[in-house]
Amino acid sequence: MKFFNNEDTKIFALGGLGEIGKNMYCVMHNNEIIIIDAGVTFPQGDLIGIDYVIPDFTFLKQNESKIKALFITHGHEDHIGGIPFLLQSVNIPAIYVPNQAIGLIRKKLNERNIQYKNLFVYTEKDKVKFKNMEVEFFKTTHSIPDSHGIAINTPNGTIVATGDFKFDFTPVGPMANLHKMATLGNKGVSLLLSDSTNALNEGMSMSESRVDEALGEIFKSHDGRIIVATFASNIYRVKHIIDTCRRNGRKIAIFGRSMETNIEISIESGYIKNNDLFVTPSEANRLPDNKICLLCTGSQGEPLAALSRISNGTHRQIQLKDDDVVVFSSSAIPGNAVSISRTINKLYLKGVKVYTNTLLSDIHTSGHGKAEELKLMIRLMKPGYFMPVHGEYRMLKTHADLAIECDVPKENTFILSNGEILSLYKGKVTKNGIVQASDVYVDGNRIGDISNAVMKDRQVMATDGIVVVIANVDTSKNILLSNPNITTRGFVLVNYNFELLKELEEISKKAIISKLKDRINYAEVKQEIIGQLAPYIYDKTGRKPIILPVIMNIKETK
Amino acid sequence: MKFFNNEDTKIFALGGLGEIGKNMYCVMHNNEIIIIDAGVTFPQGDLIGIDYVIPDFTFLKQNESKIKALFITHGHEDHIGGIPFLLQSVNIPAIYVPNQAIGLIRKKLNERNIQYKNLFVYTEKDKVKFKNMEVEFFKTTHSIPDSHGIAINTPNGTIVATGDFKFDFTPVGPMANLHKMATLGNKGVSLLLSDSTNALNEGMSMSESRVDEALGEIFKSHDGRIIVATFASNIYRVKHIIDTCRRNGRKIAIFGRSMETNIEISIESGYIKNNDLFVTPSEANRLPDNKICLLCTGSQGEPLAALSRISNGTHRQIQLKDDDVVVFSSSAIPGNAVSISRTINKLYLKGVKVYTNTLLSDIHTSGHGKAEELKLMIRLMKPGYFMPVHGEYRMLKTHADLAIECDVPKENTFILSNGEILSLYKGKVTKNGIVQASDVYVDGNRIGDISNAVMKDRQVMATDGIVVVIANVDTSKNILLSNPNITTRGFVLVNYNFELLKELEEISKKAIISKLKDRINYAEVKQEIIGQLAPYIYDKTGRKPIILPVIMNIKETK
């Protein structure tokens, strides 16, 4: 394919650099923009109350007419979770997705009542052509079926984005297409964007087949019920568990909405062939213990997930028994250690046997390649330039070092931040400019109406609560109409602190009266209240709540 | 020593069971109570805004006259942090502490202006006698100098509490007193309370001497500045680092208040012999890079600690340089993974080399024994009964299993919760009764005035903010004096949501007017406001903030 070339091709991330989450990579040539993935991040740490973090779509809004298509590498939330928000913000002419992802995306759009007609399934055989660019695909192995890498042929050279991948020479699903990767590498890859998640881990990740064996061993050695928690989207793992149940004469009951959804979609799309083993929870309760497996969500200790409710004893259908066995076929996502511990402790307390991957490493393997696998990808692609993606900064840095070990010149590696632009021109890559790419918070159903100020207020209220001071003032006579009302939430136990609250009332009263002048200045009165109360409260309680004075002018409002 | 024996000896924990933190174990015989340790827990997860969790002292208050003494096993916060709060609540006739702990405790009491005269240092040679009981000590190895186990001889038999321990046959400090342990075991131990922290980990923990070697290797192979972060209280580690600096011709600058305090106290108490290597930060900045080591706090990514500020570039005295090396001689406490990652990423971003114990395991070892060490303690003590302490439930359970492997009969192991009482009578132990032992929250300088309701409010405000609705009503005329005032914090970005807020005002107005009757019922009006606003807000925003209606009666208050 020949293109008319009079300018550079631009490559930048709107998400995915310096973080694990909200992957979104853009390739722009002249008046065409191709987007790869549209993910969300589930917030951690101090972003309390935020449901998702999504990429900043400002650049895409400003260049809406140029957008040609969105390509999805695979159906994980950090690659597809942002689609509903993206579609609410900009017009996307077409979305190309692998087979397994389409059901997940449709479900997601339905839940938000978004009508969208231009969802197309691609396979490895397809090529998608635009005026200046052509997109092709290669099959990879990951912890969800139908993961693909994407190659974009541009007038300036070929750009490859691996998507999430590992190499598994004895996979449970189909083999990754090593030969197509080799062919792409031979034809020449100008720039490789590659998954950095496990760059810090040496060696090679364990094969999914080994997990199969380890699960089989647990199934063989226990006669009680077996309860397995795993990532709902890890369909290969779910497939193992089903196969293991079949071999061991156990039926399966499913718990947790995301588990139900993923299995349903996998049956529809053919990844799970037989559903003859599935039984309802009440059927499960009637079967002998050695004839049943409970497959559930909650491997991260999520408080409302099935396993958490089972471990709490608050699950409507399942009560734990002494000889139950619980298998966490999963790893801990950083930040979830405390909630996972809590669940495990509750399970121990009920007297059941618990297997986790820290006690028995073979019951889980990561979907992301470790150092040796990352090197294999680099060797296959032989890229001229290298841009590690999908990782925190230390992972990107370590991945760049791996590329240098594999003969990519140091000056040809680019560790970027979201928004930083690479320019590819006639096979040469340089850093050139920046687009807006901040974090956008989604809380409830509203995009981006949470600012840092709102987050800061939440943080303070979470830590020390709020003290509301309400004063009714008659400005015509310059008098305070009544004692200020002090109301608190999350501050102190009100019943035991009447004296303290009475003090706050007195201090507020004096502060207001001292500022009642010819012409009352509301801001000044509020400032005075805060200025008087804050040090007093800190002295008495060691706390720094939000102090919220509200001055109401009764004459004015009558 | 002979005792007059007409009743049982009671043993219970006020903290330390089902948790790592706030250790406090009580032994009571007739009218004498001996307390072992008085720790705090640093809250995790959803206990936002709480500074400490401390044991519930209710039982001790009710039995204040019986308390004879508090014995401290070692100077870690989860063993001494509760002392100031305990002394504020009850009278403790004497506190016996090991040498290293006394400086830390004095400092703690001074900071809170607590005068306390009866602090006594004990050594392994001492015995402390009471009417019915006698207390003796044996030296153990742990990550702070001067850790001891405690044996209490009672009329009903001997109770041993190990305190925190590991076995290290090539320790940096003195050897643990294996022979005294063996002697105690030979004389007969009725009940053993033993540290369960690392019960889930197989094998034996690495020797502190190996850490010494590993640090030495890092020092030898780098010419840039070396920045080491470790636990401030781990004086052995600090001692290594000082020795390693001496061997490699480097001076040391100290950063972080707790590091300064611990080093100061260790110099006073003789654990650190030489302070000739210490230099000030400005002297450090004038020395060549290969002549300086910066020793700092912040190994857990604590936002205000020295290392965090250095990695942020906000430290007043230290700017990172390209060839700096940062060593985390520490492990991640669960729950800190996200903040530690954040610090490490920032360090990578500045281009410095980072060593952590996940990348190079020999730069840290735990202070708590693993399974084989726990078994050695059980074998030495040969206890009749076994009560695992100092651990989450799964650790206690696994530790009890280890005791069973070491010939303690299963029915003689007791996995208890805080407050559950063991009764020891003539060498036999049974479970018998319970004392109050809930978690008590300390926020700021106030003990126990944070209830679950206050915590719940904080949680909701943290997640979705607060909407305050203020209505001025004239009850004499049954009229609403003005439109209700709507003020929010942590809810939405006010500037972009005037319409929404106007709607909330209208709905509140209607709700209030609908309830203005002959005799206004405040509770009913408030309920109506909440009932009308909550579903509307949820529908419009997907959020569930606290709705706080305040009704003010203007006539009444004039």
SS3 assignment for A54-117: EECCHHHHHCHHHEEEEECCCCCHHHHCCHHHHHHHCCCCCEEECHHHHHHHHHHHHHCCCCCC
The pLDDT value given to residue A1:
44
Residue B446 and residue A496: Cβ atoms within 8 Å?
no
The pLDDT value given to residue A126:
97
Beta carbons within 10 angstroms of residue A368's beta carbon: 23
How far apart, in whole angstroms, are the C-alpha atoms of residue B448 and residue B446?
Answer: 7
Asked if A397 is an interface residue toward chain B (Cβ–Cβ < 8 A), one would say: yes
Residue A49 and residue B466: Cβ atoms within 8 Å?
no
pLDDT in tens, A97-124: 999 899 999 999 998 899 999 999 999 9
Helices (H) and strands (E) in chain A, counts: 17, 27
Residue A443 DSSP SS3? strand
- β-pairing, A147-154 with A157-161? antiparallel
Active site residues of A: 195, 368
Candidates B396, B552, B556: best to mutate against A (most CBs of A within 10 A) is B552
How far apart, in whole angstroms, are the C-alpha atoms of residue B300 and residue A396?
Answer: 22
β-strand partners of B269 = none
| Mean pLDDT over the full length of chain B | 91
* Res A558 pLDDT > 50: no
Asked if A393 is an interface residue toward chain B (Cβ–Cβ < 8 A), one would say: yes
Highest mean pLDDT among A68-77, A485-494, B228-237, B447-456 belongs to A68-77
Please tell me the distance in Å from A417's CA to the nearest CA on chain B.
Answer: 10
Residue A354 and residue B394: Cβ atoms within 8 Å?
yes
Residue B493 and residue A451: Cβ atoms within 8 Å?
yes
CB A147 within 8 A of CB A163: yes
Asked if B317 is an interface residue toward chain A (Cβ–Cβ < 8 A), one would say: no
* Res B518 pLDDT > 80: no
Asked if A264 is an interface residue toward chain B (Cβ–Cβ < 8 A), one would say: no
Please tell me the distance in Å from B290's CA to the nearest CA on chain A.
Answer: 25
The pLDDT value given to residue A71:
98
Chains A and B: how many Cβ contacts under 8 Å?
207
How far apart, in whole angstroms, are the C-alpha atoms of residue B72 and residue B74?
Answer: 6
- β-pairing, A9-15 with A24-29? antiparallel
Element (H, E) at A514: helix A498-514
Residue B136 DSSP SS3? strand
Over residues A429-449, the mean pLDDT reads 86
Could you say which of A393, A444, A548 has the minimum Cβ distance to residue B487?
Answer: A548
Residue B397 and residue A542: Cβ atoms within 8 Å?
no
Candidates A394, A474, A522, A537: best to mutate against B (most CBs of B within 10 A) is A394
- The terminus-to-terminus CA distance of chain B in angstroms comes to 76
Asked if B523 is an interface residue toward chain A (Cβ–Cβ < 8 A), one would say: no
Residue A443 and residue B453: Cβ atoms within 8 Å?
no
How far apart, in whole angstroms, are the C-alpha atoms of residue A213 and residue B413?
Answer: 35
pLDDT in tens, B372-402: 999 999 999 999 999 999 999 999 999 999 9
CA A65 vs CA A69, A161, A499, B550: distances in Å: 11, 24, 64, 51
The pLDDT value given to residue A516:
83
Residue A541 and residue B393: Cβ atoms within 8 Å?
no
CB A473 within 8 A of CB A481: yes
How far apart, in whole angstroms, are the C-alpha atoms of residue A92 and residue A97?
Answer: 13
Helices (H) and strands (E) in chain B, counts: 17, 26
Asked if A202 is an interface residue toward chain B (Cβ–Cβ < 8 A), one would say: no
- DSSP assignment of B266-282 equals HHHTTSS---TTB--HH
User: Which chain A residue has its CA at the smallest distance from B353's CA?
Assistant: A394
CB B152 within 8 A of CB B134: yes
* Res A125 pLDDT > 50: yes
* Res B190 pLDDT > 90: yes
Q: pTM (2 decimals)?
A: 0.82
CB B167 within 8 A of CB B204: yes
CB B7 within 8 A of CB B135: no
Band (pLDDT 50/70/90 cuts) for residue B557 is: very low
Which positions in chain A touch B444 (Cβ < 8 Å)?
464, 538, 541-543
Candidates B44, B308, B446: best to mutate against A (most CBs of A within 10 A) is B446
Band (pLDDT 50/70/90 cuts) for residue A278 is: very high
How far apart, in whole angstroms, are the C-alpha atoms of residue B414 and residue B387?
Answer: 5
Residue B461 and residue A464: Cβ atoms within 8 Å?
no
pLDDT in tens, B398-452: 999 999 999 999 999 999 999 999 999 999 999 999 999 988 988 777 777 777 7
Which positions in chain B touch A354 (Cβ < 8 Å)?
394
Residue A493 and residue B45: Cβ atoms within 8 Å?
no
Q: Which of B37, B56, B195, B439 is catalytic?
A: B195
**Exposure pattern of B181-193 as b/e (b: 16+ CB <10 Å)?**
beebbeeebbbbb
Please tell me the distance in Å from A206's CA to the nearest CA on chain B.
Answer: 18
Residue corresponding to tokens 């950090």:
A78
Over residues A71-81, the mean pLDDT reads 96
Smallest CA-to-CA distance from B413 within B262, B199, B191 is with: B191
Residue A485 and residue B543: Cβ atoms within 8 Å?
no
β-strand partners of B89 = none
ipTM: 0.76
Band (pLDDT 50/70/90 cuts) for residue B338 is: confident
Please tell me the distance in Å from A269's CA to the nearest CA on chain B.
Answer: 32
B368 is catalytic: yes
pLDDT in tens, A311-327: 999 898 999 999 999 99
Structure tokens at B134: 């006698």
CB A184 within 8 A of CB A158: yes
pLDDT in tens, A325-365: 999 999 888 778 888 999 999 999 888 999 998 877 888 99
How far apart, in whole angstroms, are the C-alpha atoms of residue B159 and residue B133?
Answer: 10
Residue A552 and residue B470: Cβ atoms within 8 Å?
yes
Residue A443 and residue B348: Cβ atoms within 8 Å?
no
* Res B88 pLDDT > 70: yes
What residues 7-36 of chain B have any CB closer than 8 A to a CB of chain A?
18
| Max CA distance (Å), chain B | 88
CB B160 within 8 A of CB B183: no
Highest mean pLDDT among A203-217, B93-107, B528-542 belongs to B93-107
The pLDDT value given to residue A212:
86
CB A248 within 8 A of CB A222: no
User: How many alpha carbons lie under 13 Å from residue A68 in its C-beta half-sphere?
Assistant: 18
* Res B555 pLDDT > 80: no
In B269-367, where does DSSP find H-type helix? 281-286, 306-312, 337-349
For chain B, how many residues are written?
558
Could you say which of A358, A392, A554 has the minimum Cβ distance to residue B481?
Answer: A554
DSSP B117: -
Asked if A498 is an interface residue toward chain B (Cβ–Cβ < 8 A), one would say: no
Asked if B393 is an interface residue toward chain A (Cβ–Cβ < 8 A), one would say: yes
Higher pLDDT, B232 or B44: B232
Lowest mean pLDDT across A197-206, A248-257, A384-393, A466-475: A466-475
Residue A496 and residue B449: Cβ atoms within 8 Å?
yes
Which positions in chain A touch B348 (Cβ < 8 Å)?
393-394, 397
B195 is catalytic: yes
Structure tokens at B239: 């001692």
Asked if B458 is an interface residue toward chain A (Cβ–Cβ < 8 A), one would say: yes
Band (pLDDT 50/70/90 cuts) for residue A46 is: low
The pLDDT value given to residue B371:
96
Band (pLDDT 50/70/90 cuts) for residue B5 is: low
* Res B59 pLDDT > 90: yes
CB B72 within 8 A of CB B101: yes
User: Which chain B residue has its CA at the smallest distance from A49's CA?
Assistant: B463
β-strand partners of B158 = B153
Residue A552 and residue B445: Cβ atoms within 8 Å?
no
